[in-house]
Structure 1
Amino acid sequence: MKRQQVIADVSLLLVTFIWGSTFVLVQNAVALLEPFTFNGVRFGLAGLFLIAWLFVFKRNILSMMNKKLLLSGVIMGTWLFTAYALQTFGLLHTTSSKAGFITGLSVVLVPLFGFLFLKETPKRFAVFGVGVATIGLYLLTLGDSLALNFGDILVFFCAISFAAHIVVTGKYTPLYSTLLLTIVQIFTVSVLSSISAVLFEDWQRVFDSEVMGNANVFLALIICSIFATALAFLAQTNFQKFTTPTRVALIFAMEPVFAAITGFFWANERLGSKALLGCLLIFIGMILAELPQKVFDGLVKNKRSYEAK
């Protein structure tokens, strides 16, 4: 495996850990600051952080900005806005653990979308890993209960949006500046969220000192804006060019596992034996996808030799 791909996979796994660990934070914050308003502020702060970084350390890349880069960033940001809006609303009606699990269904959708729209054929081990992870996600989401609620449905459509975002990110990241592309997509999310907040929510709460000064809201905004948004999406946009969308999706499938861990420690959420088995299968699926194609070819060759005897 190439060194760049190893670094990319490890970095994306760290990003996944950050996202999974913020489910409980977001759930607590949106109880006081409504979802669109929360995302408008969160992504706005993240965008300002990256703008400051750009002007202090990377001002020379401003000349790379053009209409194609801008449009690509807006497309990425629109899918991201849709995903986060649905996920944040879903958290109002379901548990942080279950929301994390259903979001992980994007692991199935990414290779499908990549094949349909980008004509990318995933490697056989990756397909096998997706299958194993899918079984794990089934056990995690529906293994203990077949009941679905409105929040679960919203989070499922969030998974579709996240899958589309991964695919378009894989398409555009090799073409443009990582930092500029990330800034455009993050500000796109902030603008769309802010417009939605004005149209549908009591957005004036953002000027309420009691709400913004609440420990849950303040902590969620700081951690989510800097670590789970600015740095996380900068890392994804940078490192996804060194791997495939299917591998990224499998790495991101670990998000529900991390969500379950934080849900266990911070929200006293408990998982049954089937759900724990599901966590294990997701991890195995990710490991299988890391195996090189020659290993799969060798297993097939040995099987055929055995059958021929």
Structure 2
Amino acid sequence: MTQPDGRRTTLLATLALLAMTACWGSTFFLIKDLLDRVPTVDFLAVRFLIAGAAMLLVAPRAISRLSPEVRRRALVLGSLYGVAQILQTAGLAHTPASVSGFITGLYVVATPLFAAVILRSRISGATWAAVVLATVGLGVLSLEGFSIGYGEAITLVAALLYAAHIVGLGAWSKPADALGMSILQVLVIAAICTAAALVTGEPGVVLPDRGADWASVVYMALVAGAAALLAQTWAQAHLPPTRSAIIMSMEPVFAAFFAVLLGGESLTGRMAIGGAMVLTAMLVVEAIPRRKIEGEVPHIAV
């Protein structure tokens, strides 16, 4: 790949991650409303079942084209993400949403640590500065108070699993495998969430009973679920994990933006300052020269 082509692909990968993060951010106020009527784990099960079914319908042979090694890696990644979803959801029942959002966002810190230890990546001082700036920005944007308890502890575990998922995608995903890996990951996530719904809730999976709720679920399944995970899997085949994590830290910024634009919330100075800090961190990491040792992501065996 020539240097201009490489820069173009990197830019497209960055834009894909930003679009995915914006989709995730747009779901917060929808989920907040929907969970008044549908249990959380049941919602997750229905969401990912729809996403998996739709992806299989569009590309029924994509998984069969994967090598056994790639399938095994996709199973591992889907399991990490699925368990993280359950833990984050369980933690949310025991901790304020603002604190949960901040702790979940700590994958921004965990990702470069995992990348340095597992992948032996060298992280530059400027990148670490961007990580710190993004973390502080998340705190300013999200936190109004903080305490350590059961909910916070399991949410932190979820953040570590999200970081491991980001590092794993960076190490294992290839553009040619992105579709098949995405489908298999979604199916694994759906299986884990469905099992959790059957074990922890009422017999069977509780379904939405309103047309508007089904519209929200379908949007979150197809756009913020299937398409977003496909975009992440493809984009991370072209971007180092730490850079991806900092870009993805824009999620609460987009969440605040959509909450103000569509959810009826008021813009506060804390939102503006925290959002500006996270945005600055993303711009800083995008401006850092791409050294070879930072740009290469070794593929590790499982």
TM superposition shift of 1:286: 0.6
What's 1:250 paired with? 246
Query: Pick from 47, 54, 78: which aligns with 1:49?
Result: 54
Residue of structure 1 in register with 2:126 after alignment = 125
Q: Distance in 2 between matches of 1:31 and 1:233?
A: 26
Q: Normalising by structure 2, what TM-score?
A: 0.85
Q: Which residue does 1:85 correspond to in 2?
A: 86
Q: CA offsets per residue over residues 12-42 of structure 1, 9 Å max, x none?
A: 1010000011112222223322222221111
User: Which sections of structure 2, spanning at least 5 residues, go unmatched?
Assistant: 1-5, 292-302
Deviation at 1:216, TM superposition (A): 5.2
Identity of counterpart residues, as a percentage? 30
Equivalent residue, structure 1, for 2:191: 191
* Aligned counterparts of 1:231 and 1:26: Cα–Cα separation in 2: 18
Deviations 1:119-174 (A, max 9, x none): 111233222211211221222233x4345676555433322221111011111102
Aligned to 1:135: 136
2:67 equivalent to 1:66: yes
Is residue 286 of structure 2 the alignment partner of residue 290 of structure 1? yes
TM-score, scaled relative to structure 1: 0.83
Structure 2 partner of 1:230? 226
Q: Describe the shift of the 1:275–1:6 C-alpha distance in structure 2 as closer, same or farther (beyond 3 A).
A: same
Aligned to 1:305: none
Q: Which has the greater radius of gyration?
A: 1
* Alignment size in residue pairs: 286
Moved more, 242-251 or 266-275: 266-275
Q: Which residue of 1 aligns with 2:7?
A: 2
User: Which AA in structure 2 matches 1:263?
Assistant: A
Taking only aligned residues, the RMSD between alpha carbons, in angstroms, comes to 2.5
How far did residue 105 of structure 1 move?
1.8
Amino acid at match of 2:18: L
* 2:8 alignment partner AA: R
* Cα 1:87/1:63, change in 2 over 3 Å: closer
1:171 aligns with 2:171: yes
* Alpha-carbon distance, 1:94 to partner: 5.3
Deviates more, 1:28-37 or 1:259-268: 259-268
Counterparts of 1:78 and 1:135, CA distance in 2: 30
